[in-house]
Structure 1
C-alpha cells in the first residue's frame, strides 16, 4: 500500500518527485520517534519536550502529504478496489496479528476489531477520508467545513475510537488542506522558487524553534494540563477534562498550531534527492511494522526507571532512523508484502463487459 503513505505512486507512477519522498521519510521517522519515546516522557523533561514538539504536527503533516495526492471525484472501480486492497485487507490482517500478539503476551482474550490497535487507526482514517472527500468538495469552502467538523465532533462523547472515527474527523482538516494546496498550486510554486527560498526557510526555522522554546518554558504547565492528549484528536472535550462551552476553541488553536508547524516542517524538507529519498516509496511498511519492534521495549518495562532517560532518548532517535531504513529494505518488503500490500485477485469478480455504447432493441 503505497498509495497513501506513499501517495505519489497513484498520481505520478512514472516520475517521482524527490521532495515528496523526502517529506514522507521525514514524517515516518518522526512517527517512529514519537512512539519509541512514549515510555520516557514521565522520567525525562527532554523526552517530554521532544514528544510535545513532535506530536504537535507529525500526523497532521502526514495527513497533508496524503491529502495532496487525494482524488476528490467520484471513485472509479479501480479506486474502490484499492480501498479494499490498500486499506481494508491490510487492516484486517494486521489487526488479526495484533490480536494474536496481545493474546500471547498479555493473555488478552477480548477481541474488538472495530477498535484499531495502536498505529492501525491511520489506515481506517484514510478510508474515512476517501469516503468523505467526494461529498465534502461539493460544498463551498471545504477546508472551512472540515475545520467545523473537527471542532464540532469534540462536543460529542459518543463519537469515539470505533473505526477510528473520532481521530479521522479530528485530523480531517489537514487532509483537506493538503488537497487544497494542490488546487492552489502552492507546492509547485515552492518547488520552483529559487530567489527568496532562504528567507522562507529562515522563517520556518524560527517558527519551529519558537515552538520548542514555548514547550520548554511552560513544560510544567503542559504536563499538568496533559496537553499531549489534545494532539491525539481522539477524545471528546469532556474526556479531556474541559467541560466548558468554549472547549472547541482549544481544538481550533491546536489545529492552527499544527497547520503552522506542518507548513514550517514541510518548507524545511530537502527538495533534492539524498540517501534517504528512496525509502519514501515504502513508508507504509515502516508504519505498519515498526510497532512490532517497539512493542517489546514498551511493554517489558526496560525503558522505565533506567536512570539514564536522556541516553535512551538519544538511542531512540538513532533507532528511529535505523528502523526506517531496515523496514524499507528489499528483504523486509519481500517477506511482508503479502501482509502490507496484499493482491488477492481471486477475491474480486471479473469486470462485466462495457455495454454503455450498445442500445437496446
Structure 2
C-alpha cells in the first residue's frame, strides 16, 4: 500500500478530488491531502514483518518456535499490506494522470527490478542460465505485477454487486487449476485478489472499528492462541498454503482442499490482520515517515535476503540458537528500516519514481487548467 515507492502514495493522491479543469484560473489550488499516520505506520510495520519473515527462512529447520512465528506472520503480513493497497485504489480509473502514475510507479519499477534481480542472481549464484523474463516474475517482483493487474481491474470491482464473494470464488478456482502455470505469477495474483478487492470496498469507519479499545484488548489473546495453534500445526500441515503460489494438486492435496483452504485462510488472515491493525498507533511516531518508503525497503532488502542464502551467511552455528534467532530478527528489522529512509529513497528514485514526462503526451485538461 509514496514518495519513493511510486504506488501507495500515488494511491493516496488519487483519493484526493480532482480540481475542476474548467474552474476559474484565478482560483488557488486545493491544499495537499494530509497523510494519515495510521496507514503509514501500518505499511512500515508490515514491511518490517516481511523482512523478518525472510530472515527466518534459513532458521526454520532448527526451531519449531521460529517456524510457528513464520507461518503466523505469513498468514497476515501481505494481506495487511494488500488491503491497504486496495483501500487507496478506490478511486482509480483510467484518467491520464493516474495511468501515468501507474506506469511510472509500478510498471517501470517492475521492469527495472525484475531485470536487476535476474542479473544479480546470475552473478551471485554463478548461474548464466538464469533468464530475464518479464512474464515470469522472480522473487519479490510478483507484488508489483499483481498490483498492476489488480489496479487496472479496480473499476470492474466497483460495478460488481458482490465483489468480495466473487473474488473469493476466483481465488478458490485458481487453487484447483494446476495448469495456470507460472506466467505472470497468476496463482498469487488470483489467490491474493480477495484482499485487494476487500480493500477497495472498505471505508474509513471500518478501520475505526478495529482500532477501538475493545478490539485492541481482544487482539492479544487471539494472537497468543494463534501462535500456540501454529506451534502445534507447524509439523502437521504444508506451509505452502500460506504462500498462495501453488494449486492444491501441486501441494499434494485433492482439488477440493484448495477450495476449503481458500476460505479458511481468508478468514484466518482477516482475523490476524484485524489484530495487527488494532495495535497500529494512529498518531505520528518516529517511524511514521518511513511508511512512505516501504516499496523501497521491500525491493532492496530482497538483494540481501538472496545474498544470505547464496553466500551462506547463516553458516555460524550460534545463529541457529534462540539468541541467534533474536539477533537475526532485530538485524532484519534494522536493515529494512534503513532501506525505507529518505536518503535511500532519493538514491533510488530513478527506479522507483522516475521522471518520465518526456514519454507521455500532455493531457489537454491539465493544459487548460495550467493557463
User: Is the shorter-chain TM-score for this pair beyond 0.5, marking a shared fold?
Assistant: yes
User: Normalization by structure 2: what TM-score?
Assistant: 0.87
Structure 1 residue 276: deviation in Å? 1.0
**How has the CA–CA distance of structure 1 residues 102 and 271 changed in structure 2, closer, same or farther, with 3 Å as cutoff?**
same
Aligned equivalent of 1:8: 12
**Bigger mean CA offset, 77-86 vs 304-313:** 304-313
CA contact (8 A) 1:39 1:304 kept: no
- Counterpart of 1:185 (choices 205, 228, 232) is 205
**Mapped partners of 2:110, 2:187: distance in 1:** 18
Is the counterpart of residue 202 in structure 1 residue 238 in structure 2? no
**How has the CA–CA distance of structure 1 residues 252 and 92 changed in structure 2, closer, same or farther, with 3 Å as cutoff?**
same
Q: Mapping of 1:202-241 within 5 angstroms?
A: 202-221=217-236, 225-226=237-238, 228-241=239-252
**How has the CA–CA distance of structure 1 residues 238 and 172 changed in structure 2, closer, same or farther, with 3 Å as cutoff?**
same
Q: For residues 188-216 of structure 1, what are the alpha-carbon distances to aligned partners after superposition, in whole Å with 9 as ceiling and x for unaligned?
A: 4556xxxxx32221111121111101011
Aligned equivalent of 2:128: 108
**How has the CA–CA distance of structure 1 residues 246 and 345 changed in structure 2, closer, same or farther, with 3 Å as cutoff?**
same
Q: Secondary structure at the match of 1:56?
A: helix
Aligned equivalent of 2:21: none
**Mapped partners of 2:366, 2:335: distance in 1:** 47
Q: For residues 150-173 of structure 1, what are the alpha-carbon distances to aligned partners after superposition, in whole Å with 9 as ceiling and x for unaligned?
A: 111111112233212210111111
CA contact (8 A) 1:229 1:240 kept: yes
**How has the CA–CA distance of structure 1 residues 315 and 352 changed in structure 2, closer, same or farther, with 3 Å as cutoff?**
same
Structure 1 residue 126: deviation in Å? 0.4
Q: For residues 258-286 of structure 1, what are the alpha-carbon distances to aligned partners after superposition, in whole Å with 9 as ceiling and x for unaligned?
A: 11111111111111111111111111110
Aligned equivalent of 1:337: 349
**Mapped partners of 2:39, 2:366: distance in 1:** 37
CA contact (8 A) 2:51 2:301 kept: yes
CA contact (8 A) 1:119 1:288 kept: yes
Aligned equivalent of 1:359: none
**Mapped partners of 2:105, 2:366: distance in 1:** 26
CA contact (8 A) 1:157 1:235 kept: yes
Q: Mapping of 1:1-361 within 5 angstroms?
A: 1-2=4-5, 4-6=7-9, 7-11=11-15, 13-72=32-91, 74-106=93-125, 107-111=127-131, 112-182=133-203, 185-188=205-208, 197-221=212-236, 225-226=237-238, 228-304=239-315, 306-309=317-320, 310-351=322-363
Structure 1 residue 122: deviation in Å? 0.4
**Mapped partners of 1:247, 1:84: distance in 2:** 34
CA contact (8 A) 1:125 1:168 kept: yes
**How has the CA–CA distance of structure 1 residues 244 and 120 changed in structure 2, closer, same or farther, with 3 Å as cutoff?**
closer
Q: For residues 96-120 of structure 1, what are the alpha-carbon distances to aligned partners after superposition, in whole Å with 9 as ceiling and x for unaligned?
A: 1112111112223231221112111
Q: For residues 21-70 of structure 1, what are the alpha-carbon distances to aligned partners after superposition, in whole Å with 9 as ceiling and x for unaligned?
A: 11011101001111111111112212211211100111011111111111
**Mapped partners of 1:313, 1:267: distance in 2:** 27
Q: Secondary structure at the match of 1:89?
A: helix
CA contact (8 A) 1:27 1:61 kept: yes
CA contact (8 A) 1:3 1:10 kept: no
Count of aligned pairs: 346
Aligned equivalent of 2:28: none
Q: Secondary structure at the match of 2:266?
A: helix
Structure 1 residue 132: deviation in Å? 1.9
Structure 1 residue 340: deviation in Å? 1.6
User: Normalization by structure 1: what TM-score?
Assistant: 0.89
Q: CA RMSD, aligned part only?
A: 2.2
Tell me, which stretches of 5 or more residues in structure 1 are unaligned? 192-196, 357-361
